[in-house]
Structure 1
Amino acid sequence: MIFAARQIQEKSREQRIDLYTAFTDLSKAFDTVNRELLWTLLERVGAPTRFLNILRQIESMQRALDVISGICSSLGLQNNTQKTENFVQPIVPPIKAPQFYSNGDPIKIVNQFKYLGGTLTPTSSLDMEIQTRINLTSAAFERLRTRVFLNNDLKYGTKTAVYLAVCISTLSYASETWTPYRRQIQMLENFHTRCLKRIFGISWEDRLTHEELYRRSNTTNIEAMLAKRHLRWLGQVIRIPDHRLPRQILYGKLSHGNRSAGGQKTKILGPL
């Protein structure tokens, strides 16, 4: 769904259409939802049997309801207006953002929104998202620094495996949905090489090239990692049925609006 959210932002920007997105929170969703009706609707949309069995067994359905919020809205659930926020992406920024209401209560308008772990902004810029990823990865690296990365009893191969599993996974979370620019990739690249140098105890005095660093650590640069994740995700989108939302959004366009003249912003399919 974060892919769908970013693609809608991208296409609205490309076709110069104002975008208004409301993120709603459901009040007492677990207690009020008609579970039998929910299972029926999930089966109709093709949810795997194993997934349904897991949902029936877990105590809290909040995570599941986040994924299937569109289905829950048809069950008569009440929105929690205190947690509902509105996100505005205008083509020409107005002097004052319009006010929206839910059940008579005003909806808070925010300049950024954390959606499924990703940060969305009105400008569709990835600067804040990437900086957040770097901060989270840096914290994860520091937690493992003494026990793993600086532990002389562990082999470099083990340290690299832990780094890829924990740090790179955190750094590249939801990167399949990104449309990064060169400077943003460079930010990630600098952080990546800095971490590898700390793991292998390499300083600038060693004058080691990045290629040699990647060879020693049996890794690749961030740009190659992002491209691989992009290709893998887009391959999945291409193979899914035509009625699925990610495929419709990837290949579709808004019903109205025109592209501006001149150069265009980078799109997710552009680098590929």
Structure 2
Amino acid sequence: MRTLHRSVVVKRELSRKAKLSIYRSIFVPTLTYGHELWVMTERTRSRVQAAEMSFLRRVAGLSLRDRVRSSAIREELGVEPLLLRVERSQMRWHGHLVRMPPGRLPGEVLRVCPSGRRPPGKTQDTLERLCLSTGLGTPGDPSG
């Protein structure tokens, strides 16, 4: 990512439109590879948002010292928050899992009920919180 910063974002010869095109076609897919399966803890959310805003600030020609809000930068550049996109995609993947017919491994993994104790705060807790906050019910429950 540093190479991308040095070779593209800080170049004054490239237009803002070209930099945003690179953001959408290279930076976002690289940063969010495999995001459907991420556990979105606060630390993960913070890191994704920091990387995203670092790139967008450079594209806008700003630094942290300019003290411009992230929302203002996104609005100026016409970019939606990356975390929103990640959450939407995770919910889409969850919908696929819930609708999978019995016998498909990913769906079975979602519906499995392990016996015994497990460490607190794993994926299921986070997924339940996300589903409940969006009004979709509990994960794995087809009536949802």
TM (norm. structure 2) is 0.75
- The answer to whether structure 1 residue 265 and structure 2 residue 121 are counterparts is yes
Q: Which residues of structure 2 form unaligned runs of 5+?
A: 132-144
Answer whether contact 1:189 1:222 (CA < 8 A) is retained: yes
Q: Given the alignment, which residue of 47, 54, 57 partners 1:187?
A: 47
Identify the residue that residue 9 of structure 2 maps to in structure 1: 149
Q: Which has the higher helix share?
A: 2
Alpha-carbon distance change, 239 to 154 in structure 1, aligned in 2, over 3 angstroms: farther
- The answer to whether structure 1 residue 208 and structure 2 residue 64 are counterparts is no
Deviations 1:84-107 (CA, angstroms, capped at 9, x unpaired) = xxxxxxxxxxxxxxxxxxxxxxxx
- The answer to whether structure 1 residue 222 and structure 2 residue 78 are counterparts is no
Answer whether contact 2:9 2:55 (CA < 8 A) is retained: no
Q: Given the alignment, which residue of 163, 174, 188 partners 2:34?
A: 174
Deviations 1:16-35 (CA, angstroms, capped at 9, x unpaired) = xxxxxxxxxxxxxxxxxxxx
CA RMSD between the two structures: 2.2
Identify the residue that residue 246 of structure 1 maps to in structure 2: 106
Query: Aligned partners of 1:205 and 1:156: how far apart in 2?
Result: 21
Shift of 1:259: 5.2
Q: Provide the aligned length of Structure 1 versus Structure 2.
A: 128
Query: Aligned partners of 1:204 and 1:259: how far apart in 2?
Result: 41
Q: Which has the higher strand share?
A: 1
Answer whether contact 1:176 1:230 (CA < 8 A) is retained: yes
Deviations 1:215-264 (CA, angstroms, capped at 9, x unpaired) = 1222233321220120121122223322110011011222x32457xxx3
* Matches for 1:1-272 after TM superposition, within 5 Å: 138-139=1-2, 141-142=4-5, 145-146=6-7, 148-254=8-114, 256-258=115-117, 264-268=120-124, 269-270=127-128, 271-272=130-131
TM (norm. structure 1) is 0.42
Higher RCO (CA < 8 A, seq sep 6+): 1
- Identical-pair percentage: 23
